Amino acid sequence: MKKVYYAWDDILEHARMLLKRLEDHHYDALLAVTRGGMVPGALLAEALGIRNVLTAAVMLYDDTERAHEEPHFLQFPVDALILDKKVLIVDDVWDSGRTAVAVRERVRAAGGIPEVAVLHFKPKNNAFPGDGPDHYAIETEDWIVYPWDPESWIH
């Protein structure tokens, strides 16, 4: 698998591409999945004029980078904040899709109407055949290192 280091300008271009796919949609709230979805979530919230910005802290990997069976929710908005609301769930990447699907189902269970948007979609890694993000900018199979990843800026 090829490792690709994206710069901030790349991310802004990918966010613009995603924004074009979202411009004709209306959302009552944006739910950024921490940590990877925080930067694209902030960019999209500003561009779409969404002021109701929420976060879902989800842990799929432990400190040793071993995957858990199911994503663990460390924090999630109370149901009243998303009940009957059209919620744009934003993350950086749909890899296996386990995190996005868990968040989407949790929004549905709370009475929200979810749509998932990611910068990058990896269909070959997708654990949910026939399912995927509602909106994405780029389809890839590369290992992505984002500019907010410490690997790209600490060393």
CATH number of domain containing 11: 3.40.50.2020
What is the span of the domain harbouring residue 54?
Answer: 3-153
Q: What is the 3-state secondary structure (H, E, C) of the chain?
A: CCEEECCHHHHHHHHHHHHHHHCCCCCCEEEEEECCCHHHHHHHHHHHCCCCEEEEEEEEECCCCCEEEEEEEEECCCHHHCCCCEEEEEEEEECCCHHHHHHHHHHHHCCCEEEEEEEEECHHHCCCCCCCCCEEEEECCCEEECCCCHHHHCC
pLDDT tops 90 at residue 1: no
Q: How many domains does the chain have?
A: 1
pTM of the predicted model as reported, rounded to 2 decimal places = 0.93
pLDDT tops 90 at residue 65: no
Question: In this predicted model, what pLDDT tens digit does every residue of 93-146 receive, in sequence order?
Answer: 999 999 999 999 999 999 999 999 999 999 999 999 999 999 999 999 999 999
